[in-house]
């Protein structure tokens, strides 16, 4: 492993726990802003490694990576210029996205980002963090790894987040998904989403991967409605007939949605990515939020003892309005009538579609024009029976 990565005397400028997109982005930005800083990346896995995910990477992610000076990532997966969404009632939209997204396997994407961080000057070591001790002048991990600031980017089951005393995510703030790889591809160049009917919001996805085949899966946006593994696979088969995943590729995981109350205390420990509950409640997308929050954490880490307060403020400035909009929209989208109206409006109007893509894949907000078109569809459509004042009701829900 090279030179020892801890001793009783050394205090690293920054230790990042978790070397996924959030952690790598934090290390990259800290080193970009403070070249020569001592940055240590810790991860329990050896890279490359698989990661349960849909593998879809929004176009805006590459903008963030460009800012960090990370190049060549776009070429790692195929362009998917189209996005196709269909509701249980048959409402559908199939359009070219404002910019082409891509599908990159996480074992490829994450390894490339880790390599970029190491090239920039971070040191990567395989290590599973078990304890976090916050002192006045440093943070000590496992009794022997000291840092002026620690970034917890260690995923949905974050040890760092729990050590800070964060309350557990409520079931309604936790999505559950199962993912596999099918040898059968879906629509070429298209990210396909099939919404499922039922008590809890859910959908199946099919995203084409490099070399043929597709990343397929099924996710439920409320842990209470997940059911068993067998039940989730049954729903997947119903929604994506003919695209059965290879059994050996199946993986299930939990996703902490950004509907969970914000948690970032003062001090020397920061949270980013899934550890900060940064998963979009409309789509389950987490890579954009992971990279963006990691970048913010890398900058905030330079504040030392004031890092926590700086990071909390930066996250609110960057994501606050977006969070408020997607949280309210997620509640509305749980109503089949509203989902039909939104998909219908997106199919009829490019600006509604573009707004939906930005909301679901990056940090967009509801624009007045797009909102008005959805509200008009809502008022004319399925909600007419029980919610005749559709525009007023939706306006109240969105605030």
Bridge partners of 96, per DSSP, are 82
CA atoms within 13 A on the CB side of 135: 13
Residue 143 domain-assigned (yes or no): yes
Instruction: Indicate if 298 and 385 belong to the same structural domain.
Output: no
Quick check: 394 pLDDT over 60?
no
Quick check: 357 pLDDT over 90?
yes
Per the structure block, which two tokens stand in for 396? 């109240």
Quick check: 395 pLDDT over 90?
no
- pLDDT in the model for residue 9: 59
pLDDT tier at 288, thresholds 50, 70, 90: very high
Strands 174-182 and 139-141: unpaired
Q: Cite the beta strand spans of the chain per DSSP E.
A: 12-17, 39-43, 56-57, 79-86, 92-103, 123-126, 132-134, 139-141, 145-152, 174-182, 190-196, 202-208, 214-220, 251-256, 269-271
For residue range 233-264, list pLDDT tens digits in order.
Answer: 999 999 999 999 999 999 999 999 999 888 99
For residue range 332-348, list pLDDT tens digits in order.
Answer: 999 999 999 999 999 99
CB of 134 closer than 8 Å to CB of 269: yes
- Rounded to two decimals, the pTM is 0.93
- End-of-domain residue from the set 212, 241, 256: 256
Cβ contacts of 342 within 8 Å, gap of 6 or more: 333, 352, 356, 374, 377
Residue 232 domain-assigned (yes or no): yes
Residue 138 domain-assigned (yes or no): yes
List, as one string, the DSSP characters of 253-293.
Answer: EEEEBTTSPP---SSSEEE-GGGGT-B-TTT---HHHHHHH
How far apart (Å, rounded) are the C-alpha atoms in residues 274 and 21?
Answer: 10
Cβ contacts of 101 within 8 Å, gap of 6 or more: 56, 57, 58, 59, 79, 80, 81, 83, 191, 361
Residues of the domain holding 224: 171-256
- pLDDT in the model for residue 358: 97
Report CA Rg, the chain: 21
CATH number at residue 64: 3.50.50.60
The residue among 325, 332, 296, 383 whose CA lies nearest residue 32 is: 296
For residue range 318-334, list pLDDT tens digits in order.
Answer: 999 999 999 999 999 99
Instruction: Indicate if 164 and 305 belong to the same structural domain.
Output: yes
Residue 213 domain-assigned (yes or no): yes
Instruction: Indicate if 42 and 66 belong to the same structural domain.
Output: yes
Residue 49 domain-assigned (yes or no): yes
CATH number at residue 185: 3.30.9.10
For residue range 129-174, list pLDDT tens digits in order.
Answer: 999 999 999 999 999 999 999 999 999 999 999 999 999 889 999 9
């Amino acid at each position: 492993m090279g030179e020892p990565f801890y001793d009783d005397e050394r205090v690293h400028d920054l230790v990042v726990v978790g070397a996924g997109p959030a952690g790598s982005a934090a290390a990259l930005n800290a080193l970009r802003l403070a070249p020569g800083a001592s940055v240590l990346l810790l991860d329990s896995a050896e890279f490359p490694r698989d990661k349960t995910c849909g593998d879809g990477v929004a176009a805006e992610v590459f903008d963030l990576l460009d800012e960090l000076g990370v190049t060549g990532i776009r070429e790692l997966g195929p362009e998917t210029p189209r996005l196709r969404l269909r509701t249980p009632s048959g409402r559908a939209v199939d359009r070219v996205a404002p910019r082409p997204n891509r599908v990159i396997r996480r074992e490829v994407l994450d390894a490339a980002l880790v390599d970029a961080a190491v090239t920039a000057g971070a040191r990567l070591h395989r290590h599973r963090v078990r304890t976090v001790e916050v002192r006045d002048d440093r943070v000590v991990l496992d009794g022997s790894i000291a840092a002026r600031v620690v970034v917890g980017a260690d995923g949905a089951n974050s040890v760092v987040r729990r050590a800070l005393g964060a309350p557990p995510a409520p079931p309604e703030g936790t999505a559950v998904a199962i993912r596999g790889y099918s040898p059968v591809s879906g629509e070429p160049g298209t990210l396909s989403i099939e919404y499922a009917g039922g008590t809890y919001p859910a959908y199946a996805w099919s995203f084409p991967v490099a070399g043929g085949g597709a990343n397929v899966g099924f996710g439920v946006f409320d842990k209470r409605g997940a059911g068993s593994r067998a039940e989730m696979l049954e729903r997947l088969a119903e929604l994506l007939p003919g695209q059965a995943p290879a059994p050996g590729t199946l993986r299930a995981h939990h996703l902490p949605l950004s509907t969970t109350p914000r948690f970032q205390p003062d001090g020397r420990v920061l949270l980013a990515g899934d550890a900060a509950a940064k998963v979009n409640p409309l789509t389950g997308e987490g890579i954009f939020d992971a990279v963006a929050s990691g970048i913010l954490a890398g900058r905030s880490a330079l504040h030392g003892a004031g890092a926590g307060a700086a990071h909390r403020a930066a996250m609110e400035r960057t994501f606050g309005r977006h969070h408020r909009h997607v949280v309210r929209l997620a509640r509305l989208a749980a109503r089949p009538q509203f989902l039909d109206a939104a998909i219908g409006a997106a199919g009829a109007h490019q600006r509604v579609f573009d707004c939906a893509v930005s909301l679901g894949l990056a940090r967009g907000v509801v624009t007045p024009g797009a909102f008005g078109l959805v509200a008009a569809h809502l008022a004319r459509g399925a909600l007419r029976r029980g919610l005749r004042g559709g525009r007023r009701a939706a306006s109240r829900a969105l605030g």
